[in-house]
Amino acid sequence: MGLKKVSEGIWEIPKEKDMLVPARVYGTEKLVNAIEKGALQQVKNVAYLPGIQKYSIGLPDMHWGYGFPIGGVAGIDYETGVVSPGGIGFDINCGVRLVKTNLTEKDIRPKLKELLDLLFGAVPAGVGGKSKLRLSKEELSEALETGSKYVVEKGFGWEKDLKHTEENGRIQGADSSKVSEKAMKRGMPQFGTLGSGNHFLEIQRVSNIYDKVIGEKFGLEEGQITVMIHCGSRGFGHQVASDYLDDMVKAMGKYKISVPDRQLACAPIGSPEGQDYLAAMKCAANYAFCNRQVIMHWVRGVFEKVLGKDAESLGMGLLYDICHNVAKEEVHEIDGKARKLLVHRKGATRAMPAGREENSEDFSSTGHPALIPGTMGTSSYVLIGTDTGLRETFGSVAHGAGRVMSRHEAMRRKRGERVKKELEAKGELIRGASLSGLAEEMPEAYKDVDEVIESVEKAGLGKRVSKHVPLAVMKG
């Protein structure tokens, strides 16, 4: 594919033919050599999109996806460029939130199994998992446009949770009238559910603090128990993406747009098709914020029941909630000038350093936490962004480890019972909605998350704050 080393941890596919920008890939030599040819072709294809600025970007967890690689980023000029659903993904605002506690492993180890069992009963999970809530179409429409504030006002959490959620839990401009009836029907019964695949709910222990000053400001310390929730917009987001892909294919003919891959179907950002998709995408993003907020409320309830104290007394404040699959209107410096861009992040985490307007007051001096989840048996991380990352990747870092093995191949290699036994032999408790799901998500199916994080740091895109190891995991 013609990758050339630019510097430590940075590689480039030079601009050729009708590519508008070069393609840049970040990672150690080991990670870059393991990238599938299809994913490299995808990051190259993205460089053809009208309006793309600086580079088409592949992050260290990059692997093959739909249109864009997962782990792909593109900053596209808002006035002259396009929006492509393939650059956001089907699980719109798949993301992570991290809940702190003032507990230690000693406090919860005797009650760990009870906590996990009750969490499994409190939070619906699995393929097609049905919610304990029953929203009408009108209620769902309000949630889609209002975001996390809607469920907080219904009693699912605390007002201060909103300040620690990306975009305060609500992306402005969501319009439920742009969402299909089919998406609404899929969304109503799944509101407040974990889902399946790589989604999880995990009780963790902070094993390392790398930056004591930032760690203290975030309220993190070694030995502390945290809870991580990883899920997205469920079937609702998937349906929104599916609905608009057909419209985008038609729009390309209408606006005479040519791209090298049909999966990169797109429309001008300012066109009716582009604006309608963005309004619906924002609804799906807000749905996911609500989803994680509701799940967190139930998690707090389980801890209260098992430990006999209220969540406030247990220190169960939200550190942060962050998106992985979304497009955001942001201002970035291009050739020395401030430009409004639509930054597509697919399997990528925003990591804005100190001083950016995107940071809420609590994170103005540090930059907001960038949460990087692991998978069963592997660590998760909290990072902060850097000025280098702002210049290089529009303030973006990896979103996890990234798959190296298909789900089918993982199931061929190991049965779920074996995965469960191996992890529990290491002292990690596991509950899954299905044994096949455990097999699909075995640790070996993913890249080494520690090396992914090392790659992010080597390239100067982000800095480690803390490392979190799993004690008990609930999988959909």
CA distance 221 to 3: 40
Strand order in the sheet with 337-346: 4-7, 10-13, 23-26, 52-63, 70-77, 337-346, 325-334
Strands 4-7 and 10-13, bridge-based pairing:
antiparallel
CA distance 350 to 398: 9
Name all contacts of 433-436 with Cβ < 8 Å and 24+ positions apart: 433/125, 433/126, 433/127, 433/129, 433/196, 433/475, 433/476, 434/126, 434/127, 434/196, 436/411
CA distance 106 to 241: 45
Give the domains, in start order, of the chain with CATH numbers.
Answer: 4-404+446-475 (3.90.1860.10)
Just list the catalytic residues. Answer: 399
Higher-confidence position of 397 and 449: 397
Mean pLDDT of the 262-281 span? 98
Residue whose pair of structure tokens reads 């460029």 in the numeric block:
81
CA distance 364 to 163: 12
State the pLDDT confidence band at 133, using cuts at 50, 70 and 90: confident
CA distance 142 to 177: 11
Mean pLDDT of the 260-268 span? 97
List pLDDT tens digits, range 289-348: 999 999 999 999 999 999 999 999 999 999 999 999 999 999 999 999 999 999 999 999
Select from 291, 295, 314 the least CA-distant residue to 304.
314
- Percent of the chain exceeding pLDDT 70 equals 99
Contact predicate 411/440, CB 8 Å: yes
Could you tell me the two tokens for 304? 């209260």
Q: Taking 80 as the threshold, does the pLDDT of residue 101 lie above it?
A: yes
CA distance 127 to 121: 15
Strands 462-475 and 429-432, bridge-based pairing:
parallel
Q: Would you state the pLDDT for residue 69?
A: 97
Mean pLDDT of the 162-172 span? 98
Q: Would you state the pLDDT for residue 375?
A: 80
Single-letter residue type at 168: N
Mean pLDDT of the 366-374 span? 96
